[in-house]
Amino acid sequence: MCARLVVSVHDVAPASAAETARWCADADQFGIPVSLLVVPGPWRGMRLSGDPDYAAFLRERRRGGDDILVHGWSHRAGPEGGWPRRAVGHVVARGAAEFAALNVAEATAKLRAATAVMTESALHTTGFTPPGWLASPGAELALCAAGFTYTTSHFGAKHLRTGRRYRGFALSHRPGGGWPERFGAAMVETVARRTAERGGLVRLALHPDDLHRPGLRDTTLRAIDAVLRTGARATTYAELVGSAVG
């Protein structure tokens, strides 16, 4: 069975324009598409709606074969929901688990705002990745009601209409220095290659802050190269789940 590779670029927004462009250029060197996870709301002092040139850059990437997904609204968790889910989100996602503890109404409001900005920017999509990979049951119900057709978690991708899952653990770096960062980087490269050799689904999740740590970009590029050398086929989340962007 031929392995598949999905490379996703997270936290795509005007504030991370340079880092996103760097990862996209790297992907272009390999001749592979990427799935771009866009934060449409206020993030690091900027908004997608305030930067039409950046929206044009994203539209051009999509025309070239990349996938576009909504990546929350502001990428920051609020005070909503019960403390157990908030606590888990804080530990796992360092305060970024925006959709981890929302009820249906709260999630609906955020999705409505995000969808409006994406539509105005001519970037409408039916794909969604929650910040921190965490979405509450209420958030998933809201996604279905809002017309989203696929989503992702740490453990794979899911078609929301059929319930079919595409299993594959998302590999990503944990910038922060010291042995945890070095160990994590080594594991990304090793696990990616071994998963591909077994014919599995390899998911590499790239973040803007990865580029601010020495060596993480090189490790990522070696991992992509090793996976492709096994004969793996690069794809996007939309293609993986068979969902057309509407």
Q: What domains are there in the chain, each with its CATH number?
A: 4-241 (3.20.20.370)
* Res 175: pLDDT: 78
DSSP state of 169: P
CA-closest candidate to residue 47, choices 23, 12, 18, 80: 12
What residues have CB less than 8 Å from 56, skipping those under 6 apart?
none
Look at the block and give the residue holding tokens 């993030």: 43
* Res 97: pLDDT: 85
- pLDDT tens, residue by residue, 161-212: 999 999 999 999 987 778 788 888 999 999 999 999 999 999 999 999 999 9
CA gap 159, 138 in Å, rounded: 17
Weakly modelled stretches of the chain, pLDDT under 70: 77-95, 243-246
CA angle 213, 68, 128 (to 5 degrees): 90
